[in-house]
Structure 1
């Protein structure tokens, strides 16, 4: 596989090979969030404490992509190898029904599942912050949330991407007076120089810092959320919030050649699809294939992995899933047997439901500390600025993750993904997600990576993992590699500018693939490479956006 080394276009800071970092490495989507993480590491915290600080800071400075009104997955490997997965995915409120987003004509009314309080699931991130600190941190919430509280109180100047997305989501934000007062400037999308101050959000974070989970899901904050949601047409109860719980799940494990894979279990579909695709590809000598054939085989593996995602996966607390079979090497061998090296497989010839859309505005960060603790975390509010709704007096921008359910079987969501009965709406259920925080090991090197990008998350992590598996230990290459994507349905290869060259495009079309260019580069991968034996760390932030990756 072609190795890309685009070090200069990445925000990459690495110490000399002989030196050991004093604190660790952090790669996140925003410089202020990365600084928050290092502030907490310098105060004596570990990677779990830093992860909480980064999460909370991102909730303040990157509300386009995540926030305490949303959810998160935390993949954690502690010193000594103990691994856990913290599922803080949003849940459907008790009032949710299978057909709640269908119009009078029986079709999915997407605006109702994207904008306003009816689109929001019960947030999980605040519970996760309290849980992660208690489960594996060294500090308390007052210390780990302090940087975020300060940023919310004092304000900051949003970057160009934030301002662009505020303009794109202006109508949804304007429909919520509390959101408009915070994120718009006299009813208009703000311009450069605008200072975003979030006093109500600071107060909410302070209550969370003082009282832990109860400081958000009970008391004053909970009352304001429920009252605000219901006054604007939603249907939440105090019990919806009070009964929310994060769930610890066993991470999925697999192996691709000499690379060990630790990744996310359901309700993430990402880990299952990642392992399935790698298992299929293990039977092909990609390093001996020409570029076109190699990409063709990767696309065919994506096609089959996404097919199974749509057909079988959902919330493990609600549906039985054949996970062991889906990630079994023998099952992959059967799928591999149906792949022709010289011809594309039409998706219509494979059984199963087409796959539907999923929100792209998510964020990822990676943390490694010098004690040997590792966190790979992906957080989301779904599409930019989530539902666009803020309950008055809270500053909390609620998610619109209810759109990640299958509102109607076979009907695509906002990211084109199609779901089956396994991902149908039900009270208390968690919608299926593509978020794929992942930790890889090959020889004496560990890779920590993940990315936002909706349904494309899985394919991006797959391409990054293949770079690492091919022997490339430079995280700048993983985050920079050109991207292409196939999700079973629609039956097209999407590719970003420079994701496929002229020879690749012509060759793939000769094999029968339909190509669809994406007009902009996508994703925002944050990655760390770590060699535990000598302590060397490298960190890289995706050059497509303006994140911050540092080793200190």
Structure 2
């Protein structure tokens, strides 16, 4: 026994220092991912991105492929006739930039142009047809991505989208139902009827949906670059179609569109560096305010009710500021340094009662502008460590409903994202003010918030559609990653939202249990729970968003992706380097 004891002691003495050394030695972090990851709102777009990566392209080439393919397969959400924000990280230089491809107001789009004979806002003109459309930015973004950041020719990166547009893809349920809800408007325009109806019958789930004219438009973009869309044959067809529908664009303003390169907003939240969208997105400033308010508390140790209470109070204050201060930075002086500072966040935190809701009418002002949730997002990391987070949109369901004949391009209706008449509700029953009033060449305020997260050992890309809820969904995703959740767990997180006015917590079905609901109500919160009949809800389905995220764990050098389970056609894919 003594011999055995001595041997055991000797073994402990030999092993313990080794174990201690292993635990105390700094982890070796991978410099480059062992492969690539793509997550998007449609599996065909994810596959297109992986196809281009397999051909030797980088994350920026893949972004062209994913974006263009989404323009083909998700016309309900985005397209060449819309715009978006592309958050880019160049691994070689370590630099981040936001490519702003938001649509711009044409010269004709004065506030007076959207009033009827009585001086009231003409709702039909603001959301339907040619007058509702801003000058598209997405095609210019694809050219910029390819020429300034990509490795492959633009034509190569656009090939998957052109092929799918020519050969077709099966119509899915959301697409056919969306068309039925917009059919009355979309039937007004010959170019739209040619694409979405065959022999007088609208598209139906399971139909093979081909878009040969859109394929030709993409071919001209692939062959001629910027001029292939904004000038030449496509430009002429766009101008003709807008004019025939009663609108007015000029050749000069169409050819004069330019993407803007903007410095992203960057700030610290606990152990993370957050890099996110800058104005004309409202998302980055709001995220900075909310997260810097919240880092004053240990959220992980709190019960669900108190954690939700504090998160909601942070949301409330950030959305109030969004209303009054934010717009296109080329037209509006935004106090960005103040709004994103820790001192300002500390001051807002001091106004929050730990157990009592702050009535929104005590934070004086008026409701915040909204945009619709028919938007899309994708996230990419490549084997070099380059990354892209992109959110793109045509605004409402199928945008303006107008396709200029011969183009296949469904135009956006982003003009309704402006405050077309101050103090008058837009399509969603909310109002805007001077900072977001339309002017020629101005970009409308947006909630799109593509975001990067980086800690000592992890890199994350995330984003989502969801209108004004985009910002709060990204916030909850960031908090989820900080809690240690996986990419797929983050994509599936239950969601809740508060936007200052209306003074109401919106929540998905099943987000809160009955006990948490009662605690929140006791604090003074009003909660919209349409799906929770046990808690007094209306019993209807209530889910939102389509979060797409990818993560690189530098300790294990493992890539993973998360695609929102609410969206049956979305997907995330990971490839391993060989």
- TM class by shorter chain equals over 0.9
TM-score of the pair, normalised by structure 2: 0.90
Q: Contact 2:424–2:431 (CA<8 Å) still a contact in 1?
A: yes
Match of 2:564 among 527, 542, 546: 542
Task: Give yes or no for the alignment of 1:324 onto 2:346.
Answer: no
Task: Give yes or no for the alignment of 1:37 onto 2:59.
Answer: no
For these two proteins, the number of residue pairs brought into alignment is 534
| Structure 1 SS opposite 2:573 | strand
Task: Give yes or no for the alignment of 1:526 onto 2:548.
Answer: yes
| Structure 1 SS opposite 2:478 | helix
1:96 CA displacement: 1.1
Task: Give yes or no for the alignment of 1:311 onto 2:324.
Answer: yes
Which segment drifts farther, 431-440 or 489-498? 489-498
Q: Contact 2:171–2:203 (CA<8 Å) still a contact in 1?
A: no
Match of 1:496 among 508, 521, 530: 508
1:479 paired residue number: 491
| Structure 1 SS opposite 2:220 | helix
| Structure 2 SS opposite 1:99 | helix
2:445 paired residue number: 432
Q: How does 1:212-361 map to 2 (within 5 A)?
A: 212-361=225-374
Mapped partners of 1:470, 1:94: distance in 2: 48
Mapped partners of 2:373, 2:504: distance in 1: 18
Q: Contact 2:378–2:549 (CA<8 Å) still a contact in 1?
A: yes
Mapped partners of 2:268, 2:123: distance in 1: 39
| Structure 1 SS opposite 2:208 | coil
Mapped partners of 1:72, 1:357: distance in 2: 16
Mapped partners of 1:501, 1:184: distance in 2: 45
Cα distance change of structure 1 residues 224 and 475 upon mapping to structure 2, 3 Å threshold: same
Q: Contact 2:496–2:507 (CA<8 Å) still a contact in 1?
A: yes
| Structure 2 SS opposite 1:382 | coil
- Alignment RMSD, CA only? 1.6
1:533 CA displacement: 5.0
Describe the superposition over 1:162-200 as per-residue Cα deviations: whole angstroms up to 9, x where unpaired: 111111111121111211221234444322231111111
| Structure 2 SS opposite 1:330 | helix
Q: How does 1:8-87 map to 2 (within 5 A)?
A: 23-80=35-92, 81-87=94-100
Describe the superposition over 1:336-356 as per-residue Cα deviations: whole angstroms up to 9, x where unpaired: 111111211111111233113
Structure 1 unmatched ranges of 5 or more: 1-16
Q: Contact 2:34–2:559 (CA<8 Å) still a contact in 1?
A: no
1:22 CA displacement: 6.1
Mapped partners of 1:48, 1:29: distance in 2: 18
Describe the superposition over 1:314-367 as per-residue Cα deviations: whole angstroms up to 9, x where unpaired: 001111000010011111111111111121111111123311331111000000
Mapped partners of 2:310, 2:318: distance in 1: 12
1:471 CA displacement: 2.6
Mapped partners of 1:462, 1:435: distance in 2: 12
Mapped partners of 1:101, 1:129: distance in 2: 31
Mapped partners of 2:386, 2:380: distance in 1: 8
Match of 2:195 among 182, 200, 203: 182
Structure index of larger Rg? 2
Mapped partners of 2:432, 2:104: distance in 1: 17
Mapped partners of 2:428, 2:555: distance in 1: 42
Q: Contact 1:308–1:352 (CA<8 Å) still a contact in 2?
A: no
1:14 paired residue number: none
Mapped partners of 2:514, 2:319: distance in 1: 26
Structure 2 unmatched ranges of 5 or more: 1-28, 531-540
Match of 1:465 among 464, 473, 478: 478
1:11 paired residue number: none
Mapped partners of 1:531, 1:111: distance in 2: 49
